Amino acid sequence: MTSAETEEKQPTVLEQMGGVSGMLYSSLPVLIFVIVNFATKNLMAAIIGSLAAAVVIGVVLALRKGTIQPAISAVFGVGIAAFIAYKTGEAKGFFLFGIWQSVVYGSAFLLSIIVRWPLAGVLWTFLNGRDRSWRADKATVRDYDIATFVWALVFFARFVVQRWLYDEDQVGWLAVARLGMGYPLMAVALLATVWAVRRADKRLKEAEEAASAQAQAEEVLSRTADDLLTPDMDELKRTVEAESRDKSRD
């Protein structure tokens, strides 16, 4: 596989985030929750509005992709957030699941660096159907460590900021922080991952070319050695016949 082919198959940052439509779809339930809660001062109305938006978005995605999986995914996260808001009786509870989700994800990414299985590399190779040969190269593992650390920083930053706003009962700013620290920061982490992937692909390609060149050189040397060690049977036959004629003359 050439580097050009590899780059063509690598999705762009925007594609990784689901495109512009994906960004808008994921933002609508949160916006509707905050707007309805602010306008009506009614938590249940805000919950119903956000859930209805999630269901509509799920149906639209299901019709576009031909499967109900997007619908389930669209409703699942909003459903959990709405349930927590209902149980706590506070609008800020809508954001609690995402806050703790960030610290769990951040910890997972940080732990993966410690155990030498950086999640940025593991997830990228899994999602793109690539093998894990990169783990044998220390420099490549280091690059994926850097990308993974960026992801960890993103999640911990989300947790710190949004947890503070949660404690301060700033529901409106919680929505702003969730959206502002969502896709923009994810784009930064994805760029770090793409940087690591391109460096890894370049390094692995150079290693493959070097191994191929060495194998070809060894094959040439092996053939040369065979030629030197294997006698020329025709020449040997002529020599024996000449010696036989000389003896017959004597």
Per-residue pLDDT of the chain (250 residues; tens, 9 = 90+): 444 444 445 455 445 445 545 556 677 888 888 899 888 889 999 999 999 988 888 787 777 765 566 567 667 888 899 999 999 999 999 999 999 999 999 999 999 999 999 999 898 888 777 777 788 888 889 999 999 999 999 999 999 999 999 999 998 899 889 888 887 888 889 899 989 888 888 877 776 666 666 667 666 666 665 555 555 555 556 665 666 666 666 5
> Would you say 183 and 154 are in contact if contact means Cβ atoms under 8 Å apart?
no
Q: Is residue 145 part of a domain?
A: yes
- Residue 249 CA, distance from chain mean position: 85
64 and 183: one domain? no
Tally of domains within the chain:
2
Q: Is residue 246 part of a domain?
A: no
Which amino acid is residue 148, in one-letter code? Answer: T
165 and 70: one domain? no
208 and 132: one domain? yes
CB atoms within 10 A of CB 113: 19
82 and 113: one domain? no
Q: Is residue 209 part of a domain?
A: yes
- The structure tokens 């000449």 sit at 242
138 and 199: one domain? yes
Q: Is residue 244 part of a domain?
A: no
Q: Is residue 118 part of a domain?
A: yes
Give ∠ CA 17-193-29 in degrees, rounded to 5: 20
Residue 25, classified by CB atoms within 10 Å of its CB into exposed (0-12), middle (13-18) or buried (19+), is: buried
Question: What is the structure's pLDDT at 1?
Answer: 42
23 and 131: one domain? no
65 and 114: one domain? no
Q: Is residue 67 part of a domain?
A: yes
Which amino acid is residue 132, in one-letter code? Answer: R
Three-state DSSP at 116 gives coil
Q: Is residue 2 part of a domain?
A: no
65 and 27: one domain? yes
142 and 34: one domain? no
79 and 104: one domain? no
Question: What is the structure's pLDDT at 28?
Answer: 83
51 is in which domain, residue-wise? Answer: 17-89
Phi and psi at residue 34, to the nearest 5°:
-65, -45
Q: CA-to-CA distance for 106 and 40, rounded, in angstroms?
A: 35
89, 115, 130 - which closes a domain: 89
Q: Is residue 100 part of a domain?
A: yes
38, 69, 89 - which closes a domain: 89
75 and 146: one domain? no
Question: What is the structure's pLDDT at 153?
Answer: 96
Q: CA-to-CA distance for 59 and 132, rounded, in angstroms?
A: 36
- Which residues fall within 8 angstroms of residue 128, CB to CB, at 6 or more apart? 9, 10
> Which of 45, 33, 44, 39 has its CA nearest to residue 95?
33
114 and 31: one domain? no
- The model carries a pTM of 0.72
